[in-house]
Structure 1
Amino acid sequence: MPETLVIAFGLFFLLEGILPLIFPSIWRETFKKVTEFNDGQIRFFGFFSVLLGIMLILIAN
């Protein structure tokens, strides 16, 4: 179980790092736009991400 968790975090960081590695200017502009969102919009994206993650985990099992 612990090695699966480490692999999951590794994949997370790998995927999160691709955009700033390849397209740093696009990543910077996107990050600036996200900082302008209100709390409700950020919570919606967070909820959607959690829901999508749960669905993917359930599908994978």
Structure 2
Amino acid sequence: MNSTIWLALGLVLVLEGLGPMMFPQAWRRMILAMTQLPDTRLRRFGGGIVVAGCVIYYILRSHAEG
């Protein structure tokens, strides 16, 4: 696998870990609130994150190659 993918995954893990490490109570409230959302809304939210990630990856990849 490309090292860029591994670097990106590592950065995602660092950023994901900062929330519960720095703000555990707010993180817990957010997770509890998300469990109350309907599945369709969670799927839309997840799909939006995937699309945003793909767009960012495409833009950065095209600038790095160019």
Larger Rg: 2
Structure 2 stretches of 5 or more lacking a match? none
What is the RMSD computed on CA atoms of the aligned residues?
Answer: 1.1
Q: What percent of counterpart residues are identical?
A: 34
* 1:23 aligned onto 2:23: yes
Q: Which residue of structure 2 lines up, in the alignment, with residue 8 of structure 1?
A: 8
Closer, same or farther in 2 for the Cα pair 1:53/1:39, shift >3 Å?
A: same
Report the CA distance between 1:2 and its aligned residue.
3.1
The answer for the alignment partner of 1:56 in structure 2 is 56
**What TM-score do the two structures reach when normalised by structure 2?**
0.84
Runs of 4+ in structure 1 off by over 3 angstroms are none
SS of match in other structure, 2:37: coil
TM-score (norm 1): 0.90
- What is the CA-CA distance between 1:5 and the residue it aligns to? 2.1
What amino acid is the match of 2:46?
A: G
Flag structure 1 segments of 5+ consecutive residues without an equivalent.
none
